[in-house]
Amino acid sequence: MSATTGAIDLDALDVRIDRRRIREELGVSQTAPLIGVVARMQSHRRFDLLLGALARLVRDRPDIRLVLIGRGTQTDEVVRIPARRLGIEAHVVFAGYRVEDYAAVLGTMDLFTFLVPGSDGTCRALLQAAALGLPLVGTRRGAIPEIISNGRTGVLVAEDPEELASAWAGFLEDSQRRRTFGEAAKRDAAIRFRPDRFAAWTERFYREVSS
């Protein structure tokens, strides 16, 4: 891939976010905690891990919602049917594929989770969530640990539903912590993820992993 493939247009993400309208459109309560995920509905994106963590969290937070932004041909197999089996179907919100209001919908989330890089390896949605000021939760796959500053802009977790659920709970139970991490993520994105800076970062990352 080119060094600037994963860079983001920060200006394009500077949009007005009408949280009330978007929540109404999504059919969720104005006070419901929203965990955002952007990914194609495919098995390798670890929806099993997301749903397993959600099933554990709804025991104590029945108002929580996992908002899935994206589409895919395996939606029923990897999301709808497993969620139904776990008894958490009502807690999963399908926001669909978004274009014009993508940033506004993503920015409405309370925190963002990214588990598996896409086929191009750029983790673009993770960069966008950081630029929108969302606290981040991710695994240690690919470039994710290079994007999330563990303990500052987000939390890195093992691919374990208990650990993921615990990371989510840590943010959802503490609004000040969400705000602090989100602000740090936004500052970090403004510094590191502009096209010129991201090119140098990407080159350095691939040089390190290939050495």
- Rounded to the nearest 10°, the torsion over CA 130, 132, 115, 204 is -30
- 160: number of Cβ within 10 Å: 13
pLDDT digits (tens, 9 = 90+) for 38-56: 998 888 999 999 999 999 9
Confidence of residue 211 (pLDDT cuts 50, 70, 90): low
CA–CA dist 25, 88 (Å, integer): 20
pLDDT beyond 60 at 5: no
Establish how many alpha carbons lie within 13 A of residue 172's alpha carbon, considering only the half-sphere containing its beta carbon. Answer: 26
Task: Report the CATH number of the 11-210 domain.
Answer: 3.40.50.2000
Mean pLDDT, range 53-78, rounded to an integer: 94
**Residue 122 pLDDT grade (very low, low, confident, very high; cuts 50, 70, 90):** confident
Average pLDDT, the chain: 88
Does pLDDT of 2 surpass 50?
no
Domain boundaries, the chain: 11-210
Give the model confidence (pLDDT) of 142-177 as tens digits. Answer: 889 999 999 999 999 999 999 999 999 999 999 999
Which pLDDT band holds residue 3 (cuts at 50, 70, 90)? very low
pTM comes to: 0.86
Between CA 39 and CA 47 the distance in angstroms is 9
Burial class (CB in 10 A: 0-12, 13-18, 19+), 129: buried
Tell me if 197 sits within 8 A of 191, measured CB to CB: yes
- Candidates 206, 112, 98, 108; CA nearest to 167 is 112
